[in-house]
Amino acid sequence: MKNKIIENIKTIIYALLIALFIRTFFFQPFYIPSSSMEPNLLIGDRLFVSKYTYGYSRHSFPFSPNIANKRYLAGNPNRGDVIVFKTPYDNRTDYIKRLIGLPGDHIQIKNGELYLNMQKIKRKRVSLDIKINCGEEIINTVAYEETLPNMTKYVAVYRVDGTMLNTNEFIVPENHYFFMGDNRDCSKDSRFLSSVGYVSFENLVGKARIIFFSNDKKIANFFKFWKWNKSFRFERIFEKIE
């Protein structure tokens, strides 16, 4: 009996070590808790983030141990990548946003339109068949397919009565990046210098790759198990993140 217990404990420890190894060096699951990336990522989406894409830093490990202040096996991110990063404010909180600005870029919103290095980002209006949220509020938005200089395309939404029609010019420092949420007027991102601001290369955790599960908590939470089947978003499972 004693030997069986010891073997079971060993099996659990091995399983935990394997899971930790995969989480640290390959893929880590993340949950989307806010509407800042709508319409592309919804509250309740669960996704896998590749840890190897940009290399490894202390933020690749659980609890971000202060073991090094550099990145190993580094790979450069591209404009338009959807990335999980640790906020510069506390180096602990995970945010997920879209990479808009590279080091040295000039970024500004003028009259509700996005400018990159003094060039207006190309966009065309599109229609959406989903409602856009901002916290507990459903907001009226206009959706555009935006095209970055590297030809990355994605859909961003702007509030009809937008709160950020004009901004100062942002100049991205060396070794830092500028992020924005696709739900432009409902996202705390690099435009807010006191809380997020420019994100260091070291703070990148990984690239969002694929949605592996999604459910609408407004329809059913954990305790309303009889409604679980109605809350599942089956059409989003295994959807690639662009």
Active site residues: 36, 97
Alpha carbons within 13 angstroms on the beta-carbon side of residue 87 total: 19
List b or e across 30-62, with b for residues whose CB sees 16 or more CB atoms inside 10 angstroms.
bebebbbbbbbbbbbbebbbbbebbbbbbbbbe
Q: What is the DSSP string of 226-238?
A: GGHHHHB-GGGTT
Sign of CA dihedral 105, 109, 114, 117: negative
Per the CB < 8 A criterion, the answer to whether 200 and 126 are in contact is no
* SS3 annotation, 25-61: HCEEEEECCCCCCCCCCCCCEEEEEECCCCCECHHHC
Burial of 64 per CB tally in 10 Å (0-12, 13-18, 19+): middle
